[in-house]
């Protein structure tokens, strides 16, 4: 027998049973971002490899070890490992920096990184991200952090800590790199191979190394906050003032340098200790040099990425609420050809005004159809057989109480069903129907 094909390691199937959890996060994320004035952008799944080399940076884990790259002809393409680079590329290519600034964008997308799969660490994962371009002010940093915090709050996530740091600008970083190099020089040979290289190209990256030996060596390394220039230092102080003003709790953690090369000044992470080692749910920061570095006009910008799988793990652990999957409003139990044809017609009338309607499609007997309707939790059942077709009348059974109401199977059917539904289940009336009820009421008022 042929071997069954399995999904690739580090990927996940989201089944109908749990998809409403994803929909909950996506819906609240969209709403929250829009309330902050961010607009959605959708970008390609893959980009030219050079884009990530030039933005994410050649000394990062992502570029050095984690990219899924394919060559096609003379070109090299990479599946996006994050959303910022592609978003900024799209912003520049579509001339969006000519619009009124700041430009505020958000996205929900899949990312691809060739990592060792573990809980909360996948090869295909998903991010909600936001980017703001055009403001150098620390008020913008506070606004972006506040968007992330607001989303976490609205999802019901608790006990999550915000860590902030400033990794300065190229001016203060030059001085800092010198003293880092001096610090690591003595134990150079004990660092991992990657960090030995980092020592030359970007010594700050060593602080972000996941190897225990490197972490141990880095324990007493000088901290960036002691090397900030006046401007970066003032920016960082002002940001903290704004966070306090908004009542957002934070701790300064000079160890946070972030995994991507393009950051300047503010960097931040939201971390929980409740889900094991992969507790960083959100990471972000300012990247004032990136747009220029990619050939655009000098434009300050900042943003963050939030891992949706990690959000889900925390939410499940903390027992946060999710939207209920949509329930079947009405099931037509139908016996015989004529009854099925009627069911098809009535169901389509109801679907047109926003109801979730189903009927038997596999030719089951009466009892199994009733059982099926029960299993899917149908709110109402309408039985259609020869008698009903002949008399043009049927009974609507309200499953919650077992109560039965009369309905005629003519042109008034949908209106009558709407009436019954409205009477029994006012709270869960579908939107289109609720709107009709409202406009109807408004017209009566006239």
Shortest CB 111 distance to ligand ATP, Å: 7
Shortest CB 121 distance to ligand ATP, Å: 4
Nearer to ligand ATP by C-beta: 289 or 307? 307
Query: Count of residues binding ligand ATP (CB under 6 A)?
Result: 19
Shortest CB 115 distance to ligand ATP, Å: 5
Shortest CB 438 distance to ligand ATP, Å: 41
In this structure, are residues 286 and 236 in contact, taking their beta carbons and an 8 Å threshold? no
Cα–Cα distance for residue pair 414/353, rounded to 1 Å: 8
Q: Which of 121, 161, 238, 255 binds ligand ATP (CB under 6 A)?
A: 121
Residues 261-290 within binding reach of ligand ATP (CB under 6 A): 278, 280-283
If one asks whether residue 309 binds ligand ATP (CB under 6 A), the answer comes out as yes
Cα–Cα distance for residue pair 56/63, rounded to 1 Å: 7
Nearer to ligand ATP by C-beta: 122 or 382? 122
Backbone angles phi, psi at 286, to 5 degrees: -90, 140
The number of C-alpha atoms within 13 Å of 209 and in the hemisphere containing its C-beta is: 25
Q: Which of 80, 113, 265, 397 binds ligand ATP (CB under 6 A)?
A: 113
* Nearest Cα to Cα of residue 60 among 283, 288, 253: 283
Backbone angles phi, psi at 277, to 5 degrees: -65, -30
Which residue stretches of 359-430 are H helix?
Answer: 366-375, 386-391, 413-424
Nearer to ligand ATP by C-beta: 271 or 357? 271
Rg (CA), the chain: 29
Nearer to ligand ATP by C-beta: 68 or 356? 68
The piece of 90-98, 114-122, 246-254, 366-374 that touches ligand ATP (CB under 6 A) is 114-122
The piece of 44-52, 118-126, 344-352, 438-446 that touches ligand ATP (CB under 6 A) is 118-126
Q: Which of 63, 103, 122, 381 binds ligand ATP (CB under 6 A)?
A: 122
The residue number whose beta carbon is nearest to ligand ATP equals 307
In this structure, are residues 322 and 372 in contact, taking their beta carbons and an 8 Å threshold? no
Beta bridge partners of 398: 380
Shortest CB 299 distance to ligand ATP, Å: 21
Q: Binding marks (x or -) toward ligand ATP, 161..200, rule CB under 6 A?
A: ----------------------------------------
CA distances from residue 319 to 159, 279, 403 in whole angstroms, order as listed:
13, 17, 35
The neighbour count for residue 288, using CB atoms within 10 Å, is 20
Q: Which of 24, 59, 78, 127 binds ligand ATP (CB under 6 A)?
A: 127
If one asks whether residue 63 binds ligand ATP (CB under 6 A), the answer comes out as no
Nearer to ligand ATP by C-beta: 115 or 197? 115
Tokens 């990479």 -> residue: 78
Shortest CB 11 distance to ligand ATP, Å: 11
DSSP string, 202-257: -GGGGGG---HHHHHHHTT---GGGG--HHHHHHHHHHHHHHHHTT---EE-TT--
Nearer to ligand ATP by C-beta: 313 or 335? 313
Helix/strand/coil for 39: strand
User: Would you tell me the crossing angle of helices 308-317 and 19-35 to the nearest 10 degrees?
Assistant: 110
Q: Which of 136, 156, 254, 259 binds ligand ATP (CB under 6 A)?
A: 259
For ligand ATP, the binding residues (CB under 6 A) are: 82, 113, 115, 120-122, 125, 127, 259-260, 278, 280-283, 305, 307, 309-310
């Amino acid at each position: 027998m042929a071997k069954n094909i399995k999904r690739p390691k580090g990927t996940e199937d989201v089944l109908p049973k749990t998809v409403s959890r994803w929909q909950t996060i996506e819906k609240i994320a969209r709403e929250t971002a829009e309330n902050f004035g961010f607009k959605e952008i959708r970008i390609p799944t893959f980009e030219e490899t050079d884009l990530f080399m030039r933005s994410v940076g050649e000394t990062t884990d992502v570029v050095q070890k984690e990219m899924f790259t394919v060559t096609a002809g003379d070109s090299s393409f990479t599946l996006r490992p994050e959303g910022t680079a592609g978003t900024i590329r799209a912003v520049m290519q579509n001339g969006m920096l000519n619009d009124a600034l700041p430009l505020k964008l958000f996205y929900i997308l899949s990312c691809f990184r060739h990592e060792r799969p573990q809980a909360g660490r996948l090869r295909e994962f998903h991010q909600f991200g936001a980017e703001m371009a055009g403001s150098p002010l620390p008020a913008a940093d506070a606004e972006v952090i506040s968007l992330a915090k607001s989303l976490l709050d609205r999802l019901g996530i608790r006990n999550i800590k915000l860590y902030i740091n400033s990794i300065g600008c190229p001016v203060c970083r030059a001085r800092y790199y010198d003293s880092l190099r001096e610090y690591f020089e003595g134990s150079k040979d004990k660092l991992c191979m990657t960090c030995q290289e980092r020592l030359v190209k970007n010594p700050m990256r060593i602080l972000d190394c996941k190897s225990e030996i490197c972490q141990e060596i880095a324990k007493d390394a000088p901290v960036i906050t002691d090397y900030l220039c006046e401007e970066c230092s003032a920016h960082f102080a002002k940001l903290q003032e704004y966070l306090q003003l908004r009542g957002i709790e934070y701790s300064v953690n000079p160890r946070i340098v972030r995994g991507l090369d393009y950051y300047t000044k503010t960097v931040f992470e939201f971390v929980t200790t409740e889900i094991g080692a992969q507790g960083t749910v959100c990471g972000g920061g300012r990247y004032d040099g990136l747009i220029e570095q990619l050939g655009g006009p000098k434009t300050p910008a900042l943003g963050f990425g939030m891992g949706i799988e990690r959000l889900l793990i925390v939410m499940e652990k903390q027992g946060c609420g999710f939207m209920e999957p949509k329930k079947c409003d009405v099931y037509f139990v139908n016996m015989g050809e004529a009854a099925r044809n009627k069911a098809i017609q009535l169901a389509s009338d109801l679907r047109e005004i926003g109801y979730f309607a189903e009927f038997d499609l596999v030719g089951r007997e009466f009892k199994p159809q009733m059982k099926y309707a029960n299993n899917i939790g149908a709110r109402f059942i309408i039985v259609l057989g020869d008698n009903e077709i002949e008399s043009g009348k049927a009974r609507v059974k309200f499953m919650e109480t077992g109560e039965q109401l009369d309905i005629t199977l003519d042109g008034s059917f949908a209106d009558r069903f709407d009436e019954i539904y409205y009477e029994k289940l006012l709270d869960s009336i579908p939107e289109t129907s609720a709107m009709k009820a409202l406009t109807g009421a408004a017209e009566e008022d006239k």
